[in-house]
Amino acid sequence: MEARYTYRLRVTSGQERQLQEVFDSCRFVWNNALGRWTNLWRHERTGLSAVEMQAELTDWRGRFDWLAAVPVTPQQQTLRDLGASIDAFFDKSNPAGRPRFKRKRSVASARWTTRGFSVAERLAVAVAGGRVQLRVVWSRPLPSAPRSVTVYRDPAGRWWASFVVRVQADGVGVTGEVTGLDVGLTTFATTEFADADVANPRFARRAAKALARSQRNLARKKAGSANRAKAKVAVARVHAHVGAQRGDFVHKEARTLARRFDRIGVEDLRIKNLLTNRHLSRSISDAGWRQFVEALDWQAAKAGHQVIRIDPRNTTQTCSACGTKAKVHIGLADRIFACTDCGLVLCRDRNAARNLNPDRQDKTGVGVDGSKTLVPVGTEAA
């Protein structure tokens, strides 16, 4: 399996200038290729093929000496990324929007393939005039020889190297347990088993005061000043800290769930649509549902298990015991599901998790063995 291993870099001011030349060339290639594609699509309803993009790059390198002085590999990778972005734009199942032009203050990055870098005690990447030796903070060893590396600087001013490597899947075998999983805001993830539920840490809410303080400080700074640039970095560091907390949290919890359950049924949510609710959008963004499900996919693949997307319609409104739909709509404020037909009384999220179990997916209340009642009829909320 392929995975990304990311490490901090210690970059000097001289090295930063050399890398910035590569970033600038990649931004130039992206913006010009996107401009060509946009004009062709707008006026002729046609686009640029990968071969045509590479031909354009050859022409640009022949006309601009400063562009030709920079290694071609990162520029070729930029065109591949643009092609992937354009394909994603036309994919109806993909929420990605139209590719945008890059600005100088955007996150700077460049990618090198095997012929453009080498790894020993330090990371050597090709720049104008040769290779630059970057000091890497080796927090863990690389599991195999990397196939590519992306060097980037985040908005908080930190430098990173992200390697694509091959890893061995650590399959845990069959555990015999299957569950549905319902994501929410009161409880981050609810399964069929109370001991496997995941609490909502609400990282952004915890950092709200620090973020507000840094944003007020930014608002007081004069536009274009050096102090404003420093204040922007301070705001970015708060966001970066929350992002790091959330990333660590979702991968740890996803790993625990993926190793315990053979199959996990999750809602196939359109999170972009849910964010239009102005009352819940901030809490949904803080929860990071999409990031969690992506981490769950990855951890399940490593464990040799499976995550199954399931249509979320009526999973909250349907009784998981007898399949009867609730006669009165159950709103977000209603935390208990009470079936008027079979008498099941259950936490609404637990009921939804049972409906999301991939082994019970005819949604009629009839199980794979033909039985009518899928879960014991309860008399108290769980």
Cβ burial 247-269 (10 Å sphere, 16+ → b, else e):
eebbbebbbebbbbbbbbbbbee
Q: Which of 177, 349, 362, 369 is catalytic?
A: 349
Would you call 359 a catalytic residue per the annotation? no
User: Exposed (0-12), middle (13-18) or buried (19+): which is 126, by Cβ within 10 Å?
Assistant: buried
User: Is the CB of residue 199 less than 8 Å from the CB of residue 188?
Assistant: yes
DSSP element (H, E) containing 7: strand 2-10
Nearest to residue 151, comparing CAs of 165, 141, 162, 140? 162
Cβ burial 306-316 (10 Å sphere, 16+ → b, else e):
bbbebebeebb
Q: Which of 192, 253, 267, 286 is catalytic?
A: 267
Q: Which of 182, 192, 253, 262 is catalytic?
A: 182
- CA dihedral over 359, 362, 364, 368, signed as positive or negative: negative
Would you call 182 a catalytic residue per the annotation? yes
Cite the active site residues.
Answer: 182, 267, 349
